[in-house]
């Protein structure tokens, strides 16, 4: 174990990942439809990206993700910016690196890699090998900017996940991989939590950690984690990075229902469900993360929660996610 993330996992029982990038940048002035990755290159907006990274560090994050979720050639070409892939991703990593290096403690810079938005053959036009090249281009740029680890997130498809991992592997950096599970307790392409856990143990290179992100709220992610834990190996490091409650339209804007108190409860339940890395996804602000840091630091391990406890403390869980958990372990 030589990389920073692995060293921290070796010496600490749990780590706090950061919160949302996109929704917080909207609050800083990002306009709907404009690619946040281009802010990494604009002098008037680079400081806003850095300030968000720094705010998460100051809130207590051990891991911060770069502003590069949609930084592949496939996504940037929608804005005629496909030739700016290297510059945008390298700058994203440099901005996060600056915030991490100013922390006065070890903070992991995770190069965020999201899906291409394309369907893979035979369902769509994107060939597997082309996907590998697309992800490799982004990963190489993130490494050049100083990323410690590559964080492949919000994946739905096994093919796309495998191509992202193969592309990222060209850098030699360790990888963390998370899938997004919808209201049926599976990904959009039908992958179950148990299948995801088995897959992560079979692929090469094997991810340092894996789990679930985004989704439809904290309760759903914890339910997914319960299913994943039962299929995971004893030494597997699981990740939970849930949305901050449920998105709602308020005065024409999307707002998330999760309070700092709910996200603190989610930390306790995610840890007891088997996660070692916990963070927030869409809607999670630095204020939420501060409450999550306090919860993590004060956590005293409890019994594995059952679905009744998850629902009582965090909200409803979809029938599909309940079934996934029950199929592996009965509810107490």
Nearest to 14 by CA among 232, 271, 313, 317: 271
Domains and CATH numbers, the chain: 4-328 (3.20.20.330)
Give per-residue pLDDT as tens, 181-191.
986 789 989 99
Q: Which of 2-6, 8-12, 79-83, 127-131 has the lowest mean pLDDT?
A: 2-6
Q: What is the mean pLDDT of residues 112-131?
A: 96
* Among candidate residues 270, 278, 263, 266, the one with its CA nearest the CA of residue 304: 270
Give Cα 269 distance to the centre of its chain.
18
Tokens of residue 239, six digits:
């990740």
Q: For tokens 């509810």, name the residue.
A: 331
pLDDT in tens, 23-64: 999 999 999 999 999 999 999 999 999 999 999 999 999 999
Q: CA 154, 205, 66, 291 torsion: positive or negative? A: positive
Angle, helices 218-231/307-314, rounded to nearest 10 degrees: 160
What does the pLDDT read at residue 250? 73
pTM value is 0.95
């Amino acid at each position: 174990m030589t990389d920073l993330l692995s060293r921290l996992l070796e010496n600490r029982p749990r780590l706090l990942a950061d919160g949302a990038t996109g929704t917080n940048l909207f609050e800083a002035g990002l306009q709907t439809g404009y690619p946040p990755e281009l802010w990494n290159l604009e002098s008037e907006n680079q400081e806003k990206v850095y300030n968000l990274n720094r705010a998460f560090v100051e809130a207590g994050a051990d891991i911060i993700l770069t502003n590069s979720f949609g930084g592949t050639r496939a996504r940037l070409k929608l804005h005629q910016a496909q030739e700016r892939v290297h510059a945008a991703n390298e700058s994203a990593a440099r901005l996060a690196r600056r915030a991490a290096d100013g922390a006065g403690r070890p903070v992991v810079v995770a190069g965020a890699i999201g899906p291409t938005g394309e369907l893979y053959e035979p369902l769509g036009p994107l060939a597997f090998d082309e996907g590998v090249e697309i992800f490799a281009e982004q990963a190489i740029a993130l490494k050049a900017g100083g990323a410690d680890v590559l964080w492949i997130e919000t994946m739905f498809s096994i093919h796309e996940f495998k191509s992202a991992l193969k592309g990222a592997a060209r850098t030699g950096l360790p990888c963390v991989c998370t899938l997004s599970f919808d209201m049926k307790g599976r990904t959009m392409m039908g992958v179950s939590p148990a299948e995801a856990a088995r897959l992560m143990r079979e692929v090469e290179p094997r991810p340092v950690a894996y789990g679930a992100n985004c989704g439809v709220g904290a309760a759903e992610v914890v339910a997914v984690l319960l299913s994943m834990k039962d299929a995971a190996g004893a030494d597997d490091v699981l990740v939970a990075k849930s949305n901050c409650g449920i998105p709602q339209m308020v005065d024409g804007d999307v707002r998330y229902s999760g309070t700092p108190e709910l996200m603190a409860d989610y930390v306790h339940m995610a840890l007891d469900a088997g996660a070692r890395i916990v963070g927030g996804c869409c809607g999670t602000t630095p204020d939420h993360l501060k409450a999550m840091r306090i919860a993590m630091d004060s956590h005293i391990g409890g019994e594995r929660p059952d679905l009744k406890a998850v629902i009582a403390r965090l909200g409803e869980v979809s029938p599909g996610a309940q079934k996934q958990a029950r199929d592996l372990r009965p509810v107490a």
